[in-house]
């Protein structure tokens, strides 16, 4: 008889597990409020139309052997081997029992409890976030092109602020810069010269997880591109039209994108499992939740006291692949092997057809690295359909530019 395996979450960790688990041995159930896998490394490219939204998603229901429910898990009853779920749209609640449970619910964007961030800033974690940003970007240019506006009002509409100097914030700033240089100058000619792009970072450097030389190179490159980088700057309050900095300065904006770190999901914080100082679920070297033999946690929601795994898609994907392999081994009565993370390095796009590569074998930047960046991401996309669509989007963008339609 098949064992019932329930997976919570459809990110890199959960989807990698589902793709590699043996459906002949396990009866698979996937619970997630999102009915698709999202290739997040290319999400910033969708915000300005470099890539279309559906090109980087893979529907869960394409996997015929998976029982999928679009819902949130609201409670785990570990001593009863049951979970409680709820559909946020209809409010329908239901219970499921399990033999093995895998928690891979990821994290949320950290607002640091700063007033106004959740209400007025745009995040960049989901496809809906990217769609909202894309609509807002075009609205800013259309609003600024209306007659009768003062120069100050026009500039405010065209001031784009990015909070957070990590890979997501840097790549979004780079994509927006390309849009301004390659499309705004053609389609909104009178607005290009008064558009302002500001990147705000609380620490003294951007891309702190990269080699210091690559971080410095990015900073110089941004300054050449006229992207204003404000280091050691703290936002203390956000209003509908301006941000307030710690030193008392106020800056009006048309769009604020917030990508200043991650925080545990409420579901994880409220769970009864033992947690690390970062609020994540503690797991052992086999990714089992401490104190339970049939509950596992993988991806950004999990932490190990002995190994400080980076919170990246690369880590989550490796953990998903590992756990699928070990669960398959267990079904054959083989002993599991401990998880070992292999660091393949990091990539980042920094605009003007330049990228960074920060790997153990190669550390570089520039146009050749940009070609490498694109080739790696094409190979990492999960389906042939995604690969073809992204290649077509890049080719279409090269020939015709980005679409500035709003709908």
The tens digit of pLDDT for each residue in 313-332 reads 999 999 999 999 999 998 88
What's the pLDDT at 1? 84
Q: Is 352 exposed, middle or buried (0-12, 13-18, 19+ CB in 10 A)?
A: middle
What's the pLDDT at 206? 97
Q: What value does the mean pLDDT take over residues 256-262? A: 95
pLDDT confidence bin for 90, thresholds 50/70/90: confident
Q: What value does the mean pLDDT take over residues 367-384? A: 96
pLDDT at 407 over 80: no
What's the pLDDT at 320? 97
Comparing CA positions, the residue from 62, 77, 71 lying closest to residue 32 is 71
What's the pLDDT at 405? 87
pLDDT at 361 over 80: yes
Q: What value does the mean pLDDT take over residues 160-164? A: 98
**Taking all residues of the chain, what is their mean pLDDT, rounded to a whole number?**
95
pLDDT at 305 over 90: no
Q: What value does the mean pLDDT take over residues 211-230? A: 96
Q: What value does the mean pLDDT take over residues 149-164? A: 96
Give all domains of the chain, ordered by start, each with its CATH number.
Answer: 3-34+70-109+262-331 (3.50.50.60), 117-260+345-400 (3.50.50.100)
What's the pLDDT at 333? 87
* Contact residues for 334 (Cβ-Cβ < 8 A; gap 6+): none
What's the pLDDT at 360? 86
What's the pLDDT at 298? 98
104-114 pLDDT per residue, tens: 999 999 999 99
From CA 221, how far away is CA 214, in angstroms rounded?
10
Q: What value does the mean pLDDT take over residues 19-41? A: 96
Q: Please give, one letter per residue, the 3-state secondary structure of the chain.
A: CCEEEEEECCCHHHHHHHHHCCCCCEEEEEECCCCEEECHHHHHHHCCCCCCHHHHEEEHHHCCCEEEECCEEEEEECCCCEEEEECCCCCCEEEEECCEEEECCCEEECCCCCECHHHHCECCCCHHHHHHHHHHHHHHHHHHCCCCCCHHHHHHHCEEEEECCCHHHHHHHHHHHHHHHHHHHHHCCCCHHHCEEEEECCCCCCCCCCCHHHHHHHHHHHHHCCEEEECCCCEEEECCCEEEECCCCEEECCEEEECCCEEECHHHHHCCCCECCCCCEEECCCCEECCCCCEEECHHHEECCCCCCCCCHHHHHHHHHHHHHHHHHHHCCCCCCCCCCCCCCEEEEEECCEEEEECCCCEEEEHHHHHHHHHHHHHHCCCHHHHHHHHHHHHHHHHHCCCCCCC
What's the pLDDT at 192? 87
176-204 pLDDT per residue, tens: 999 999 999 999 989 989 999 999 999 99
pLDDT at 399 over 80: yes
Contact indicator for 137, 176 with CB cutoff of 8 Å: yes
What's the pLDDT at 194? 94
Residue percentage of the chain with pLDDT more than 70 = 100
């Amino acid at each position: 008889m098949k064992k019932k395996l329930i997976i919570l979450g459809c990110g890199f960790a959960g989807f990698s597990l589902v793709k590699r688990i043996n459906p002949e041995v396990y009866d698979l159930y996937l619970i997630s409020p999102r009915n698709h896998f999202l290739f997040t490394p290319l999400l910033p490219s969708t915000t300005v139309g470099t890539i279309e939204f559906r090109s980087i998603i893979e529907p869960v229901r394409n996997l015929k052997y998976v029982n999928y429910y679009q819902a949130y898990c609201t409670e785990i009853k570990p001593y009863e081997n049951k979970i409680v779920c709820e559909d946020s749209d209809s409010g329908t609640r239901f219970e499921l029992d399990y033999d093995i449970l895998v928690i891979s619910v990821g994290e949320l964007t950290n607002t640091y409890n700063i007033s106004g961030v959740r209400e007025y800033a745009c995040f960049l974690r989901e496809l809906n976030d990217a769609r909202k940003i894309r609509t807002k970007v075009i609205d800013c240019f259309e609003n600024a092109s209306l007659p009768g506006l003062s120069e100050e009002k026009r500039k405010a509409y065209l001031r784009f602020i990015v909070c957070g100097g990590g890979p997501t914030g840097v790549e979004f700033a780079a994509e927006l810069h390309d849009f301004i240089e390659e499309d705004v100058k053609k389609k909104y000619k009178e607005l290009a010269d008064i558009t302002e792009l500001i990147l705000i970072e609380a620490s003294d450097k951007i891309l702190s997880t990269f080699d210091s030389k690559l971080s410095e190179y990015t900073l110089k490159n941004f300054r050449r591109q006229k992207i204003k980088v404000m280091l050691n700057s703290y936002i203390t309050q956000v209003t509908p039209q301006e941000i307030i900095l710690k030193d008392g300065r106020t800056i009006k904006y048309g769009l604020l994108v917030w990508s200043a770190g991650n925080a545990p999901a409420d579901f994880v914080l409220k769970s009864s499992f033992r947690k690390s100082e970062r609020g994540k679920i503690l797991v052992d070297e086999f990714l089992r939740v401490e104190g339970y033999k049939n509950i596992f946690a993988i991806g950004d929601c999990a932490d190990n006291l002995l190994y400080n795994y980076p919170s990246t898609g690369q880590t989550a994907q490796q953990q998903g692949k590992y756990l699928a392999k070990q669960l398959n081994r267990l079904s054959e009565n083989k002993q599991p092997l401990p998880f070992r993370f292999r660091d393949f390095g990091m990539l980042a796009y920094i605009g003007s057809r330049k990228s960074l590569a920060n790997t153990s074998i190669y550390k570089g930047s520039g146009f050749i690295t940009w070609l490498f960046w694109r080739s790696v991401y094409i190979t990492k996309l999960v389906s042939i359909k995604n690969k073809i669509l992204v290649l077509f989007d890049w080719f279409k963008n090269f020939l015709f530019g980005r679409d500035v339609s709003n709908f």
